[in-house]
């Protein structure tokens, strides 16, 4: 009897073990054939091509300032950010959190601090694009920043960036809502503009220069005519001084002016004094009889626009345009 029971026990045990092995084998087979992505990863498109990144990474270094607002909206708390690039409004929690490492500035990244944060993923690109190779030695690094060269232009690529972040963090629904808000604002602004002439400017240190290379992205999808194009400008930098005279703008006499106030975001350049953009416009004698001054048709972008430039910033800017042009009739 004992021998029979022992043989029965061995048979049952063997059956259980066999079943476990079969299930294990099945599990491995399913994971390896999962349509192009391995377990725990997700495939995305970046400026460097298609790559696999961790799905819902726990430790994220966020370097691309255009992604900050979206990461916040998706409930992502980074382990390291360039704190000097944080907008003045809405980021005190990140700025003052000692558990979030300061990644430095794009001119002088703190690679040691980034490495010490032991990231699973680094969101690079934009201002940090030139450091991609060095960052990749620390952890998986992606460039999904919006770009003027992207298909459909900068504004359209903001949508792609948002959808990709939603995919990485398992927040596709929230990402779609953010994109829908941009679409709605853009449509409203497009409907409110009817071919008016506009000058796009950057105010800094009491002067106004041509800002078409930087904020021309805003008017590309709208029914507006820029009185000055970005042609001849070397880059999208707002640091270049083209020597544009106020009298030149007065002669072009745009119906509207849209201004980016750089100093409001980061302060004045060394050796200069910050002057609010509105004060610059109001005190410019050459503009006294222009259409935009007499009709008070000047749109001042959000003070932090220079440091945000993400999908939320453009949603707000399109809303500003739609509201202002709608009131003007």
Structure tokens at 162: 């948002």
Burial status of residue 216 (CB atoms within 10 A of its CB: 0-12, 13-18, 19 or more): buried
pTM value is: 0.84
Burial status of residue 63 (CB atoms within 10 A of its CB: 0-12, 13-18, 19 or more): buried
pLDDT of amino acid 164: 98
C-alpha angle with apex 17: 13 to 20, nearest 5 degrees?
Answer: 140
On whether both 63 and 147 belong to a single domain, the answer is yes
Among the candidates 112, 141, 171, a domain finishes at 171
Burial status of residue 96 (CB atoms within 10 A of its CB: 0-12, 13-18, 19 or more): exposed
Nearest partner of 136 among 65, 57, 53, 55, judged by Cα: 53
Please state the domain count of the chain: 2
Distance, CA of 235 to CA of 254 (rounded, Å):
24
On whether both 319 and 206 belong to a single domain, the answer is yes
On whether both 139 and 210 belong to a single domain, the answer is no
Among the candidates 171, 197, 217, a domain finishes at 171
On whether both 154 and 65 belong to a single domain, the answer is yes
User: What is the CATH classification number for the domain harbouring 95?
Assistant: 3.40.50.1980
Instruction: Render each residue's pLDDT in the chain as its tens digit; 329 residues.
Output: 444 443 334 333 443 333 343 333 333 333 333 333 334 999 999 999 999 999 999 999 999 999 999 999 999 999 999 999 999 999 999 999 999 999 999 999 999 999 999 999 999 999 999 999 999 999 999 999 999 999 999 999 999 999 999 999 999 999 999 999 999 999 999 999 999 999 999 999 899 999 999 999 999 999 999 999 876 545 444 444 567 999 999 999 999 999 999 999 988 777 778 889 999 999 999 999 999 999 999 999 999 999 999 999 999 999 999 999 999 97
Among the candidates 171, 200, 224, a domain finishes at 171
On whether both 56 and 110 belong to a single domain, the answer is yes
27 part of a folded domain = no
CB 126 within 8 A of CB 145: yes
pLDDT of amino acid 36: 37
pLDDT of amino acid 231: 62
On whether both 122 and 228 belong to a single domain, the answer is no
pLDDT of amino acid 216: 95
25 part of a folded domain = no
The CA-based dihedral angle spanning residues 304, 305, 310, 313, taken in that order and rounded to the nearest 10 degrees: 90
Phi, psi torsion values for 318, nearest 5 degrees: -65, -35
pLDDT of amino acid 237: 44
4 part of a folded domain = no
33 part of a folded domain = no
**Bridge partner list, 260:** 202
On whether both 116 and 222 belong to a single domain, the answer is no
Distance, CA of 150 to CA of 205 (rounded, Å):
32
281 part of a folded domain = yes
72 part of a folded domain = yes
Q: Which domain holds residue 285?
A: 189-328
């Amino acid at each position: 009897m004992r021998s029979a029971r022992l043989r029965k026990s061995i048979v049952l045990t063997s059956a259980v073990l066999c079943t476990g092995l079969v299930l294990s084998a099945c599990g491995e087979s399913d994971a390896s054939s999962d349509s192009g992505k391995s377990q725990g990863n997700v495939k995305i498109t970046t400026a460097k091509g298609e790559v696999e990144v961790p799905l819902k990474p726990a430790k994220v270094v966020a370097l691309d300032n255009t992604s900050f607002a979206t990461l916040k909206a998706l409930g992502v708390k980074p382990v390291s950010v360039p704190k000097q690039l944080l907008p003045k409004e809405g980021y005190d929690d990140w700025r003052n959190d000692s558990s979030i490492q300061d990644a430095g500035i794009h001119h002088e990244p703190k690679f040691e601090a980034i490495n010490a944060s032991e990231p699973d993923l680094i969101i690079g690109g934009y201002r940090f694009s030139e450091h991609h190779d060095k960052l990749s030695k620390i952890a998986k690094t992606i460039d999904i920043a919006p770009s003027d060269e992207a298909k459909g232009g900068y504004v359209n690529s903001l949508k792609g960036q948002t959808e990709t972040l939603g995919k990485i963090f398992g927040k596709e629904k929230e990402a779609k809502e953010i994109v829908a808000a941009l679409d709605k604002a853009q449509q409203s602004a497009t409907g409110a503009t009817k071919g008016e002439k506009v000058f796009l400017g950057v105010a800094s240190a009491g002067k106004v220069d041509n800002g078409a290379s930087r904020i021309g992205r805003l008017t590309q999808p709208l029914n507006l005519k820029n009185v000055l194009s970005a042609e001849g400008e070397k880059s999208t930098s707002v640091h270049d001084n083209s020597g544009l005279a106020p009298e030149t703008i007065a002669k072009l006499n745009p119906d509207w002016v849209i201004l980016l106030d750089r100093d409001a975001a980061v302060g004045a350049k060394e050796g200069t004094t910050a002057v609010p953009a509105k004060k610059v416009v109001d005190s410019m004698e050459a503009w006294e009889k222009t259409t935009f001054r007499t009709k008070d048709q000047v749109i001042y972008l959000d003070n932090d626009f220079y440091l945000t430039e993400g999908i939320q910033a453009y949603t707000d800017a399109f809303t500003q345009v739609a509201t202002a042009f709608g009131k003007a009739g």
